[in-house]
Structure 1
Amino acid sequence: MLRLSTFLIFFSFVLQAFAQDKISISGYVKDASSGEVLIGATLQVKSNYRAVRTNTYGFFSLELEQANDSLFISYVGYQPLAVEVNADQQKRYSFELTPLGNTIEEVVVSGKKQNKNVTSPQMGAFNFTIEEIKNVPVIFGERDILKTIQTLPGVGKGGEGSSSFYVRGGGGDQNLILLDEATVYNASHLLGFFSTFNSDAIKDVELFKGGIPAQYGGRISSVMDIHMIDGNNKKFSGEGGLGLIASRLKLEGPLQREKSSFMLSGRRTYADMFLKASKDETVKKSKLYFYDLNAKLNYRLDDKNTIYASGYFGKDDLGYGDLFSFDWGNATATLRWNHIFSEKLFSNTSFIYSDFTYNVDVNNDESEFVINSKIENLNLKQDFSYYANSRNTLKFGFNALKQKISPASLRATQTSAVNSLIIQKRHGIELAAYITHEWNPIYWLSMLYGLRATDFMVMGPGTFYSFDEEGEAISSKSYSSEVIKHYLRLEPRLSTSFILNDRQSIKASFNRIVQNLHQLTNTTASLPTDQYVLSSLNIKPQYADQVAVGYFQNFANNKYEFSVEGYYKYMGNQIDFRNGADLQANEFLEGELLFGQGEAYGLELFLRKTKGRLNGWISYTLGKSQRQFDQINEGRWFNARQDRTHDVSVVGLFKLTEKWNLGANFVYYTGNAITFPSGKYTVDEKTMYYYTERNGYRMPDYHRLDLSATYEPQIKDKRFKSSWSFGLYNVYNRKNAYIIDFRENENNPNITEAYKIALFGIIPSVTWNFKF
């Protein structure tokens, strides 16, 4: 860490010395109507045609060849702005762009200069705003960013109604999901039918599935970085919607005009209210709902300092009368300080808290007990951005993360038929430092490279066990509050772009990422009751080495964007389970785990139309994902659960008239790999199934078509707007298999038959949206 810090300081001085002859200006680009900062806005200098983009806080820094110059500022959905600047008189600016208003919606994946997808060294990344996906049809008519990213190449769907996703053959737990820099552990409501993220509160979403920058770490497959809106600092406004099973409301406005603002957004389902109509008293007392709340405050101290505070709280509550209840939820809090040291050096300091909790309460005649689990972390994060010149940008920083896991423990009453079992907590501290450099040495070559160093410390107190090859505990050792083991790792990153011309480029990337938090699940969908474990004496950190190469081209004056990417990913220290593993309330859980390796490779094609009345995208992924464990399948490689040969998505959006917008979404993918019984036998007159090959069978192929229509009537009162959204999910009523199970034939018990359970048929939806 000391050597890395010394290198960072030395490199900063070198870049500063190199840039001294230039004139620098800096500032922010904002929305003229709300004061919201714009992420990824482009500023181009007239004299040298150099262009820069605003960072995730709306900040920019650029160099001028001369004190007096002209800038051209642009952002998707906003009126471009041409301005004159004089660096001798002013070096700090705040530019405001005016929304285009009621014009044709452009569905693009990032707000950037039109050929940025070709010229940028970054590959395997997508960026989009909520406005750009508002007409994509999803289940129950709710705009859902997690369902939308599942239509991108290399991103696999978790299944019917699920918010889980799998990136380039990785597991669902190998995706880092951040909300204003805070980790979200379970990003789903109602077991996956809704995502955690209320789209009204979201400004920008960025997904990295390859060439992941060094400032991100902790998950080996992807990073999904989500930013909440800051709040309108010019006027009070609100928006919301009333749907068939859920409603939402957002309020925002200035606390002190153009200096501070707030945003408050809430959402709740009311499916449980329909239960009150039942004549059954038990059903009347049942619960079936979720709610979530997003809040954000910001205060500009002066032109160099801004403070942000944001938080999220969401909870699901399911229950059947007084007999059973199950609730779970996420909570996050982020306190940020943005500071501008100079026109070249920008700083962001963050204090972050995250937790995820679930509780199961059973109360019947024989058993009364509660199962609960909790995972929480505290994170101190410091990031610097140094804009040396138009060809060099340096980012560096560090973070200290403290994690604590309270595994699922069972607490029973004295009269219960089951016994209490309290599982000890686990603690860990992860220190990390990084440096990344974006370099454009010559016009046809751009590079983004960096290094991340991590030290994960297994912490006490606690008792740690050793296990034999059969998973039986053979010894133990107790520790106090001390460092038990260090895992030191280096994670190099590299992305590069070879620009053939302003319409074509070839890109390549390599990254190594390490993961110290592991989710234990034996399903293809992430469930709230899935267990988490930290790296320990038995569990080594997962890691992945990924290489990718791609060809990018734009057509017809950047109206069409095309890309093809190939990738190979090797995954070490992967985790699976012994046959019949007990994952709940198990003091010797680590003995149920097996450790092996994995690999994933594939080809991704993406074609997008970004302009005109008809736009959208087509994505196709040809992929393979497999695992190898010495104790499974006699050591032979087998398909991962999320292995899919083919995955196709087609999204089309059409502006029919000024009042009507239409949307369509078609998906098809090969069925997940699954383990089916190979035979059966009888024990004490009970039929038992015999399993051989792991994941040796396939679920049926999945496909469906969704349609949507949005009507925006013309209202004389310009201060109030409303629209109606109509949707049909699974238009042709395809009965896609959710579960395949087995049973004995009623007429002949010697015959075993498979049967399918389908979750959804066709589902209509209607939502009234309003804004004032």
Structure 2
Amino acid sequence: MIRSITLIALLFTTYFSFAQQKYTISGTVNDKTTGETIIGAILRIEGKSAGTTTNEYGFYSLSLPAGSYIVMVDYIGYQEHMFSLTLEKDSILAISMVPKNKQLLEVVVTSKAKNENITSAQMGMNTLNVKELNALPVLFGERDVMKIIQLLPGVKSAGDGNTGFFVRGGAADQNLILLDEAVVYNPSHLLGFFSVFNSDAIKNLSLYKGNEPAQYGGRLSSVMDIKMNDGNNQSYHASGGIGLISSRLNLEGPLVKDKGSFLVSARRTYADAFLIFSSDENMKKNKLNFYDFNAKLNYRFSDKDRIYLSGYYGKDVLGLSNLFGINWGNATGTLRWNHIFNPKLFSNTSLIYSNYDYKFKVTTAGIDASILSVINDWNFKEELKYFMHPGNSLSFGLNSVYHTLTPGQFEGTITAPSQPKVHSWENAFYIADSWRVSKKLNIDMGIRLSTFSFFGGDNKFYNLDGNHNITDTFTYASGQIVKTYVNPEPRLSASYQLNNSSSIKAAYGRNTQYLHLLSNSTTSNPTDKWVATNNIIKPELSDQVSLGYAQNFKDNTYECSVETYYKSMQHQVDYKNNAQVLSNDAIEPQLLFGQGRAYGIELLMKKNEGRFTGWVSYTLSRTELQIDGINKNAWYPAHQDQTHNLSVVGMYKLSKKWTVSADFVYYTGYAVTFPSGKYNVDNQVVFYYTERNAYRVPAYHRLDLGATCKLRERKHFSSEVSFSLYNAYGHANPYTITFQQDPNNATKTQAVQTSLFQWVPSISYNFKF
């Protein structure tokens, strides 16, 4: 009897297992006309709750019981793709989607799917999909994604002439900016008038505001992950544009049709070309220009293996006659291998190079000298993603970066000693799980374990007393690890769907930052200095909690959301009064350390479809620091503190040819330290300062207008002309405010405001063939 029961049980188990046998369909989703992989495409099974999305490399994996299905694939800007599938074994299937139309580049602010803001557990994330014609007003004829993200809630502009931005109270250096996985340390061209990102070469941009997945790390406030286009693997194309002060050209095409492709994109400004018309001979010698170059190759060796090689190089040149000059630039390179081990396990292996350098040269009064500063990274990444079953995917991997910082090397007639190179090693290991617990509950959870080691060599280390004076100096042998910091960084976010059109979300995330940017100016500039964590400069830490509500209306045509956050920060850095961070003396005695806090609420209302589209975003926030030795140890506003921040964006299609647009921006002036008094020393006026950041510059506001006209649209050629007026009502927004003695009354002091832009018109011609 026992044997019979056992046999029946085994037969039942075998039958049950067979009945539940599942197979996996996997592959990539791409654009049928170009071969570009599509990030965030949604795969759904008709009549079933099962589904998945493509990852950042366009890969998907979906496991289902054996049977026949109708598969539907959706992505904004593409026709819905539907096909029948009989699943009897594991299958690899490449899916091609057809664009709804073929237009020139547009930046569309969107979620990954129409209702991804409702269903996803991820909080504080925005995606810019660079795909079709952008109707937003532009500056100098350039479509700049860095300017567009500053129109989103929680993201604050650093002002005119600056591509720096502040996210949820963080400083500009607390944003991790990645271009094809390589770090870009300075994203500005032409002193911030342009960013280094040429929209012709960009496929996708994702911005995470402090609650990023565990594979990202190294900064406190945000991650901006930019992916370059792969290049068209079907046919050869060229596109470009000619503007008032810059032009660009983009070439792409197949290396081998359906298997490999290339992309080359170049851009150059000729702002200083007009100086030749000046009657001043010295003015003709001035230099103000930049150029950059993007390139990418990819080749698919098999259905399971694909290789990518991409790079960026850009340079700025600023010179005043033969008196002085500043050159700065970025260089990046990424070699990446995508491999599919099996239908459920996807791998991305990368070797990455990043470089940023600036050189400041002075030739005057018998001085002919220069100072060079460089930061150089070699980075190895291994990322694995395992699709366990529908609704549950596991990510894990490692990241190892070797940093080399050259703080300052002097050359020429100046005899100041050069600072030695500083070597450090940053590592991270992470594991994360994206779990659809039920139809309503989604959870993303993970942990990142980061370590940072700094080495000895020619660089010196110090001990400081209570007054921050050096009491001891010591060195270590080259290659010897002086100290290692270890920090766990847990991440957790969850969403609960109240119904098909609304959800609530909550998140917690810890981040650690080991590299720090020092500046003695109120605005970001090329000569800001990066320093590494050491025995005195501790790793910066942040803990952020956030809560949000999202609601969509009228079949996702309208979208609204509200998010609130609180972020505490440890080991924040500020400077003593009159600190000289650009000198080659030891920097540690001039630094002070403490804590920070940032909190606020972000509102977004957006219309996604129709002839009229756009959004309104508003942020109410505070950012404060408490540093021992400043303001009697009391809390004070951080420089990037902006209480109110409002952006209104609208685009309207007048006809098939004409589109008009406008955006309005208003935000509270940033906090600054102004003199509270003055006194005379040897007939020289010396200003007296009291509280740090106790004053504010005037509020910033402007209105931009734009219009785009399609000139021609044929099968093999299309063109357009774009008009825009930046700062339409000519408001003089402050760039800097300085103080000087009134030349007509020595007892009075004058505040002198410098403004950059008033009534800036631009026109550009764009083409594609």
TM-score, normalising length: structure 1:
0.95
How far 1:89 moved relative to its partner? 6.1
- Matches of 1:330 and 1:697 in 2, distance apart? 35
- Matches of 2:692 and 2:671 in 1, distance apart? 9
Contact 1:407-1:585 within 8 A present in 2 as well? no
Q: Which residue of 2 aligns with 1:374?
A: 374
1:636-647 pair list within 5 angstroms: 636-647=634-645
From the superposition, tell whether residues 313 and 81 of structure 1 become closer, same or farther in structure 2 (CA, over 3 Å).
same
Q: Which residue of 1 aligns with 2:419?
A: 423
Q: Choose from 612, 616, 641 the match for 1:618.
A: 616
Contact 2:21-2:66 within 8 A present in 1 as well? no
Q: Which residue of 1 aligns with 2:396?
A: 396
1:443 paired with 2:447, answer no
Q: Choose from 582, 585, 602 the match for 2:583.
A: 585
Describe the SS at the equivalent of 2:241: strand
Q: Which residue of 2 aligns with 1:222?
A: 222
Contact 2:108-2:131 within 8 A present in 1 as well? no
Contact 1:368-1:412 within 8 A present in 2 as well? yes
- Matches of 1:278 and 1:622 in 2, distance apart? 47
- Matches of 1:745 and 1:284 in 2, distance apart? 33
Q: Which residue of 2 aligns with 1:141?
A: 141
How far 1:273 moved relative to its partner? 1.2
Give the residue type in structure 2 aligned to 1:380: F
Describe the SS at the equivalent of 1:424: coil
Describe the SS at the equivalent of 1:43: strand
- Matches of 2:676 and 2:21 in 1, distance apart? 74
How far 1:554 moved relative to its partner? 0.3
1:182-261 pair list within 5 angstroms: 182-261=182-261
1:110-189 pair list within 5 angstroms: 110=110, 112-131=112-131, 134-189=134-189
Describe the SS at the equivalent of 1:267: strand
Describe the SS at the equivalent of 2:437: strand
How far 1:391 moved relative to its partner? 1.8
Q: Name which of structure 1's ranges 736-745 and 513-522 shifts more when overlaid on structure 2.
A: 736-745
Describe the SS at the equivalent of 2:293: strand
Contact 2:347-2:382 within 8 A present in 1 as well? yes
Deviation per CA, 1:521-574: give whole Å up to 9, x if none.
244432110001000011110010000000110011111110000000000000
Contact 1:106-1:612 within 8 A present in 2 as well? no
Give the residue type in structure 1 aligned to 2:400: A
Contact 1:604-1:622 within 8 A present in 2 as well? yes
How far 1:757 moved relative to its partner? 1.6
Q: Which residue of 1 aligns with 2:737?
A: 740
- Matches of 1:747 and 1:361 in 2, distance apart? 37
Give the residue type in structure 2 aligned to 1:232: N
Give the residue type in structure 2 aligned to 1:476: T
- Matches of 1:736 and 1:647 in 2, distance apart? 15
From the superposition, tell whether residues 283 and 746 of structure 1 become closer, same or farther in structure 2 (CA, over 3 Å).
closer
RMSD (CA atoms): 1.7
How far 1:425 moved relative to its partner? 1.2
Q: Which residue of 2 aligns with 1:88?
A: 88
Describe the SS at the equivalent of 2:415: coil
- Matches of 2:105 and 2:562 in 1, distance apart? 26
Describe the SS at the equivalent of 2:110: coil
Q: Choose from 534, 544, 553 the match for 2:551.
A: 553
- Matches of 2:221 and 2:244 in 1, distance apart? 36
Contact 1:169-1:624 within 8 A present in 2 as well? yes
From the superposition, tell whether residues 47 and 113 of structure 1 become closer, same or farther in structure 2 (CA, over 3 Å).
same
Q: Which residue of 2 aligns with 1:534?
A: 532
Deviation per CA, 1:160-187: give whole Å up to 9, x if none.
1321100001100000000000000000
Describe the SS at the equivalent of 2:200: helix
Q: Name which of structure 1's ranges 695-704 and 360-369 shifts more when overlaid on structure 2.
A: 360-369
Describe the SS at the equivalent of 2:342: coil
How far 1:22 moved relative to its partner? 2.2
Q: Choose from 745, 753, 758 the match for 1:756.
A: 753
- Matches of 2:611 and 2:700 in 1, distance apart? 30
Q: Choose from 672, 677, 685 the match for 1:687.
A: 685
Q: Which residue of 2 aligns with 1:472?
A: 469
How far 1:323 moved relative to its partner? 2.0
Q: Which residue of 1 aligns with 2:597?
A: 599
- Matches of 1:299 and 1:762 in 2, distance apart? 47
Q: Which residue of 1 aligns with 2:26?
A: 26
- Matches of 1:630 and 1:103 in 2, distance apart? 56
How far 1:138 moved relative to its partner? 2.8
Contact 1:721-1:770 within 8 A present in 2 as well? yes
Q: Which residue of 1 aligns with 2:289?
A: 289
- Matches of 1:55 and 1:524 in 2, distance apart? 39
- Matches of 1:154 and 1:42 in 2, distance apart? 27
Q: Which residue of 2 aligns with 1:5?
A: none
Contact 2:313-2:330 within 8 A present in 1 as well? yes
Q: Which residue of 1 aligns with 2:499?
A: 501
Q: Which residue of 2 aligns with 1:520?
A: 518
Deviation per CA, 1:340-387: give whole Å up to 9, x if none.
011100000000000100001111232111011000100000000111
How far 1:103 moved relative to its partner? 8.6
How far 1:473 moved relative to its partner? 1.9
Contact 1:648-1:667 within 8 A present in 2 as well? yes
From the superposition, tell whether residues 103 and 597 of structure 1 become closer, same or farther in structure 2 (CA, over 3 Å).
same
How many residues of Structure 1 are paired with residues of Structure 2 in the alignment?
Answer: 751
How far 1:660 moved relative to its partner? 0.6
Q: Name which of structure 1's ranges 737-746 and 681-690 shifts more when overlaid on structure 2.
A: 737-746
How far 1:108 moved relative to its partner? 5.0
From the superposition, tell whether residues 606 and 107 of structure 1 become closer, same or farther in structure 2 (CA, over 3 Å).
farther
From the superposition, tell whether residues 476 and 440 of structure 1 become closer, same or farther in structure 2 (CA, over 3 Å).
same
Give the residue type in structure 2 aligned to 1:319: G
- Matches of 1:497 and 1:544 in 2, distance apart? 22
Describe the SS at the equivalent of 1:36: coil
For structure 1, the 5+ residue unaligned runs are 1-16
Q: Which residue of 1 aligns with 2:12?
A: none
- Matches of 1:710 and 1:105 in 2, distance apart? 12
Contact 2:572-2:593 within 8 A present in 1 as well? yes
Q: Name which of structure 1's ranges 267-276 and 600-609 shifts more when overlaid on structure 2.
A: 267-276
TM-score, normalising length: structure 2:
0.96
From the superposition, tell whether residues 748 and 585 of structure 1 become closer, same or farther in structure 2 (CA, over 3 Å).
closer
From the superposition, tell whether residues 320 and 108 of structure 1 become closer, same or farther in structure 2 (CA, over 3 Å).
closer
How far 1:511 moved relative to its partner? 0.2
Give the residue type in structure 1 aligned to 2:733: N
How far 1:209 moved relative to its partner? 0.1
Deviation per CA, 1:177-235: give whole Å up to 9, x if none.
00000000000001100001000000000000032110000000000000000000000
Contact 1:473-1:588 within 8 A present in 2 as well? no
Contact 2:210-2:223 within 8 A present in 1 as well? no
Deviation per CA, 1:20-68: give whole Å up to 9, x if none.
9422110011101000101111110124132211111110001223332
- Matches of 1:748 and 1:106 in 2, distance apart? 55
- Matches of 2:404 and 2:742 in 1, distance apart? 49
Contact 1:664-1:706 within 8 A present in 2 as well? yes
Q: Which residue of 2 aligns with 1:7?
A: none
Name the % identity. 49
Give the residue type in structure 2 aligned to 1:430: E
- Matches of 1:738 and 1:441 in 2, distance apart? 50
Q: Which residue of 2 aligns with 1:543?
A: 541
Contact 1:158-1:524 within 8 A present in 2 as well? no
- Matches of 1:209 and 1:69 in 2, distance apart? 38
- Matches of 2:706 and 2:385 in 1, distance apart? 42
Q: Which residue of 1 aligns with 2:702?
A: 704
- Matches of 2:135 and 2:464 in 1, distance apart? 54
Give the residue type in structure 2 aligned to 1:162: N
1:62 paired with 2:62, answer yes
Q: Name which of structure 1's ranges 19-28 and 741-750 shifts more when overlaid on structure 2.
A: 19-28
Contact 1:106-1:615 within 8 A present in 2 as well? no
Give the residue type in structure 1 aligned to 2:448: R
Give the residue type in structure 2 aligned to 1:491: E
- Matches of 1:378 and 1:698 in 2, distance apart? 41
Q: Name which of structure 1's ranges 100-109 and 603-612 shifts more when overlaid on structure 2.
A: 100-109
How far 1:738 moved relative to its partner? 1.4
Describe the SS at the equivalent of 1:49: coil
Describe the SS at the equivalent of 2:147: helix
Describe the SS at the equivalent of 1:191: helix
